[in-house]
Amino acid sequence: MKNTIFVLEENSPKYKQIYEQFKSFIERGDIPPNDLLPSIRQLADSLQVSRNTTLMAYEQLVAEGYIRGEGRKGYFVNELEPILSQDALAFPKKEQTKSEIPLLIDFRPGVVDQTNFPLKIWRRIANRALTLQESFQYGEPFGERCLREQIATYLLQSRGVNTDPNAIIIGSSTQQMLIYLGQILKDDFNSIIVEDPGYGGARESFQFHRFTLETLPVYETGADFSKLEQMTSKIIYVTPSHHCPIGVSMSIQQRQMLIHWANKKQGFIIEDDYDSEFRYTQQPFPALASIDSTRVIYLGNFSKSFLPGIRLSYMVLPQLLLNRYKQQFLHFESTTSLLSQLTMAKFIEEGEWNRHIKRMRLVYKRKMQCLVSELKKHFNKNVSIIGEQSGLYLLVKIHLNYSEEWLIERASVYGVKVYPTSIYFIKNYSDEPIIKLGFSNLTCEEIQLGVKLLKKAWL
Ligand SMILES: Cc1ncc(COP(=O)(O)O)c(C=O)c1O
């Protein structure tokens, strides 16, 4: 196929226009089956768009079966079922409904960068783990000793938490661990303080055991502890290093005050240190459990720093709870994969974990900077950016007098998926809508395109 040139309009996404033009050329038979399409580069040059734009259009056509990629040879048109060609000729094109709008950019939080995942290394170590004799049995109920030892070393080096591997319990997820933990706490305690806004997953786990919830308001400036003394609960669940979702960190004064409170009340602090590895402006802040671990239950996981699907989490129990926990769950089998545990233990031991974290910190820092600069460029004073110092997502407070629902809906019309934050709030609602934008698995080009489309959708 030679010189397919068409004019692109300004008011709709270019990727979509290219995709639709080719789709209709193919459906009408204007480009016959097995014809070679222009290369990504040729098409980008002739239409004066980025290669990413043409690549995305081609990828959509590949996904829908209109064309196929044949490696270095390029992209070729597929044979269409006759019925489809007939239909396309016979009926005028109907208006695109919402469900047919292709998703161009998904600012999904809770995913990790796929391109930089150390697949080869993980595969090599996992293959080796499969040859070990112990891989063919159930494993230790509280987690493999080798992984608990590696976690203990990591916690001391990176989070300042000095713990015995015996105090570490390995589980499959934060919620699963909180449910088990709740089982041993509920005899002595019947209510828990949670952050507002805060992580719904933790709230649901506490409600599973019918704990009453009291709320600690958290703002962009930090948590408000002024009412803490008047609360009746003796347990508090917090995300001190990177508040979920606002992203603020607790100051050392607040950390010390909280520890003092737990000691005085003879209660416990549940410290969820879920993504502390990714702090971009300074070194990660030391964990609460590094100040005084007597009354701190420390929770960590590999979901943000490595892979959410690995389902590998851990908690460090203070001595006061450890025996009770072990007695209660002695006859419960481990909830997480033995193979993943053995592989992760070796991965850490061989230094791959530290290399991975170091590399990912740079990768995510670049993406965060890209998202922040694009938002500032396109939205200027219409938005406030929250939480740019750390984490794998940003919050954007929108000063445009639209509701959260409208903003999400409107973005979807332009092929962009963005996420609500209202689900995190209990009663401490924000005066203006706040949208959550995850960037971890997007390239900078995709981030740029996504923000440009959001500008078209919202401004
Ligand atoms: C505050 C918080 N803690 C922990 C997690 C991780 O949960 P899991 O262990 O199920 O991956 C998340 C996930 O988004 C979270 O937001």
Q: Which atom of ligand 1 is nearest to the CA of 110?
A: 14
User: 336 and 404 in one domain?
Assistant: no
Cα 292 to ligand 1 centroid, rounded to whole Å: 23
With a 6 Å cutoff on the Cβ, whether 308 touches ligand 1 is: yes
User: 21 and 165 in one domain?
Assistant: no
Peptide linkage before 245 cis (omega within 30 of 0): yes
Q: Which atom of ligand 1 is nearest to the CA of 272?
A: 3
Residue 5's pLDDT is 60
DSSP 402: -
Q: Which atom of ligand 1 is nearest to the CA of 244?
A: 1
Cα 398 to ligand 1 centroid, rounded to whole Å: 26
With a 6 Å cutoff on the Cβ, whether 244 touches ligand 1 is: yes
User: Is 114 contained in some domain?
Assistant: no
Has residue 123 got a pLDDT over 60? yes
User: Is 438 contained in some domain?
Assistant: yes
Q: pLDDT > 70: what percent of the chain?
A: 95
With a 6 Å cutoff on the Cβ, whether 303 touches ligand 1 is: yes
Reference 25, options 80, 71, 99; nearest CA is 80
Pairing of strands 168-171, 191-196: unpaired
- Residues 293 and 161: beta-carbon distance below 8 Å: yes
Of 306, 323, 350, the residue at which a domain comes to its end is 350
Least confident of 257-266, 284-293, 338-347, 367-376: 284-293
User: 332 and 301 in one domain?
Assistant: yes
d(CA 255, CA 262): 11
State the average pLDDT over residues 381-408. Answer: 96
State the average pLDDT over residues 63-84. Answer: 80
Least confident of 204-218, 270-284, 306-320: 270-284
The DSSP element (H or E) to which 192 belongs, if any, is: strand 191-196
User: Is 452 contained in some domain?
Assistant: yes
Give the pLDDT band (50/70/90) at residue 13: confident
With a 6 Å cutoff on the Cβ, whether 199 touches ligand 1 is: yes
Q: Judge residue 254's burial from the number of C-beta atoms within 10 Å of its C-beta, 0-12 exposed, 13-18 middle, 19 or more buried.
A: middle
What tokens appear for 42 in the block? 């040729």
Q: Residues 160-173: pLDDT tens digits?
A: 999 999 999 999 99
Nearest residue by C-alpha to atom 14 in ligand 1 = 110
Residue 387's pLDDT is 94
Residue 281's pLDDT is 84
Residue 283's pLDDT is 76
Residue 111's pLDDT is 96
State the average pLDDT over residues 135-141. Answer: 95
Pocket of ligand 1, candidates 196, 199, 239, 336: which has the most ligand atoms within 8 Å of its Cβ, to mutate?
199
User: 287 and 153 in one domain?
Assistant: yes
- Angle at which helices 319-329 and 174-185 cross, to 10°: 100
Cα 274 to ligand 1 centroid, rounded to whole Å: 6
User: 377 and 346 in one domain?
Assistant: no
Cα 15 to ligand 1 centroid, rounded to whole Å: 34
State the average pLDDT over residues 12-17. Answer: 84
Q: Which atom of ligand 1 is nearest to the CA of 301?
A: 9
Domains of the chain: total: 3
With a 6 Å cutoff on the Cβ, whether 301 touches ligand 1 is: yes
- Residues 362 and 111: beta-carbon distance below 8 Å: no
The region, left, alpha or beta by phi > 0 then psi within -120 to 50, assigned to residue 310 is alpha
Give the pLDDT band (50/70/90) at residue 89: very low
Reference 371, options 420, 438, 419; nearest CA is 438
**Beta partners for residue 238, in sequence order:** 271
Of 315, 350, 385, the residue at which a domain comes to its end is 350
Nearest residue by C-alpha to atom 13 in ligand 1 = 110
User: 408 and 302 in one domain?
Assistant: no
Cα 203 to ligand 1 centroid, rounded to whole Å: 12
Provide the domain limits for residue 269.
119-350
Contacts of 362 (CB under 8 A, 6+ apart): none
Distance of CA 138 to the CA centre of its chain: 30
Give the pLDDT band (50/70/90) at residue 62: confident
DSSP 279: B
State the average pLDDT over residues 123-145. Answer: 96
User: 337 and 445 in one domain?
Assistant: no
User: Is 342 contained in some domain?
Assistant: yes
State the average pLDDT over residues 116-143. Answer: 96
Residue 334's pLDDT is 95
User: Is 2 contained in some domain?
Assistant: no
Q: Residues 178-197: pLDDT tens digits?
A: 999 999 999 999 999 999 99
User: 145 and 55 in one domain?
Assistant: no
d(CA 399, CA 140): 53
d(CA 27, CA 87): 9
With a 6 Å cutoff on the Cβ, whether 142 touches ligand 1 is: no
Residue 173's pLDDT is 97
Least confident of 60-64, 102-106, 154-158, 338-342: 60-64
State the average pLDDT over residues 376-400. Answer: 96
User: Is 80 contained in some domain?
Assistant: yes
With a 6 Å cutoff on the Cβ, whether 440 touches ligand 1 is: no
Nearest residue by C-alpha to atom 4 in ligand 1 = 274
d(CA 79, CA 362): 44
Pocket of ligand 1, candidates 276, 278, 301, 312: which has the most ligand atoms within 8 Å of its Cβ, to mutate?
301
With a 6 Å cutoff on the Cβ, whether 341 touches ligand 1 is: no
Of 350, 366, 398, the residue at which a domain comes to its end is 350
Residue 84's pLDDT is 43
User: 328 and 215 in one domain?
Assistant: yes
CATH no. for residue 219? 3.40.640.10
d(CA 21, CA 57): 10
User: Is 99 contained in some domain?
Assistant: no
Cα 133 to ligand 1 centroid, rounded to whole Å: 32
User: 345 and 390 in one domain?
Assistant: no
Nearest residue by C-alpha to atom 12 in ligand 1 = 274
Overall pTM > 0.85: no
State the average pLDDT over residues 328-347. Answer: 97
Has residue 7 got a pLDDT over 70? yes
With a 6 Å cutoff on the Cβ, whether 239 touches ligand 1 is: yes
Give the pLDDT band (50/70/90) at residue 91: very low
The DSSP element (H or E) to which 172 belongs, if any, is: none
User: 260 and 142 in one domain?
Assistant: yes
d(CA 311, CA 301): 8
With a 6 Å cutoff on the Cβ, whether 172 touches ligand 1 is: no
With a 6 Å cutoff on the Cβ, whether 393 touches ligand 1 is: no
Residue 82's pLDDT is 53
Question: Within a 13 Å sphere around the CA of 115, how many CA atoms are in the beta-carbon half?
Answer: 8
Residue 1's pLDDT is 55
Q: Which atom of ligand 1 is nearest to the CA of 172?
A: 9
Q: Residues 416-449: pLDDT tens digits?
A: 999 999 999 999 899 999 999 999 999 999 999 9
CATH no. for residue 72? 1.10.10.10
Nearest residue by C-alpha to atom 2 in ligand 1 = 274
Least confident of 39-48, 146-155, 357-366: 39-48
Question: Which long-range contacts does 87-94 make (Cβ < 8 Å, 24+ apart)?
Answer: 88/24, 88/27, 88/28, 89/27, 89/28, 93/24
Give the CA angle between residues 393, 17, 76 to the nearest 5°. 100
The DSSP element (H or E) to which 300 belongs, if any, is: strand 296-301
State the average pLDDT over residues 269-288. Answer: 89
User: Is 448 contained in some domain?
Assistant: yes
Residue 93's pLDDT is 46
Residue 94's pLDDT is 47
User: 149 and 292 in one domain?
Assistant: yes
